Amino acid sequence: MRVAIFASGNGTNFEILAQQFQNHDLPGDLVLLFCDHPTAHVIDRAKRLKVPYETFTVKECGGKPAYEKRILKVLQDYQIDFVALAGYMRVVGPTILDHFGGSIVNLHPAYLPAYPGLHSIERAFADHQTQTGVTIHYIDSGLDSGPIIAQEHVAIKPDDTIESLEERVHETEHRLYPAVLKEVLTKRIEKGE
């Protein structure tokens, strides 16, 4: 099972997953990081962990259709079987979904269907909710609307700040995502998918 991780930013989830692949705590081989921001810190993490990476922007490709075709070619060149989105801040379109349907999972920092899209932690906090959460789901053509694999609530405490809440959401992500990926990848490998 050849795995790619897509990320757009700092890359804390990428680093945790990469270390678990390298320690054989996760089945399969992490063979690629794709990042749509060439200056993102996640690329520094990939270099340090010696994970091959590719990076280019929608703009340099001349638009989303050409961008997705180029990503698809990269995935095919690396013979990718499975994609894990870890802070990838773009909607995956039909060019990639048509080839990888049912083989892309996403990590979302909210208890879906509440707060899909961007700034989920901030929106839950601003709405004075008592809890938010983390969701891991297969992606489809909608915005954070694919079949849910696992979810966990994260309490929003009365004395929370955005920073303290983000920290607890990230702690939950760092624990839940590797555990769920291990289960998903193990089942796929056993079935020979």
Cβ-Cβ contacts under 8 Å for 27 (sequence gap 6 or more): 1, 182, 185, 186, 189
Give the helix/strand (H/E) hosting 150: strand 148-155
Active site residue 174: no
Name the nearest CA neighbour of 104 among 118, 94, 113, 116. 94
Q: Which of 41, 108, 119, 128 is catalytic?
A: 108
Helices and strands (H, E) in the chain, number of each type: 7, 7
Token pair listed for 17:
């997953």
- Annotated ligand binding at 13? The verdict is yes
- Annotated ligand binding at 10? The verdict is no
- Annotated ligand binding at 23? The verdict is no
- Annotated ligand binding at 11? The verdict is yes
Token pair listed for 63:
């638009």
Residues belonging to the binding site are 11-13, 64, 106
**Catalytic sites, residue numbers:** 108
Residues belonging to the binding site for (6R)-10-formyltetrahydrofolate are 64, 106
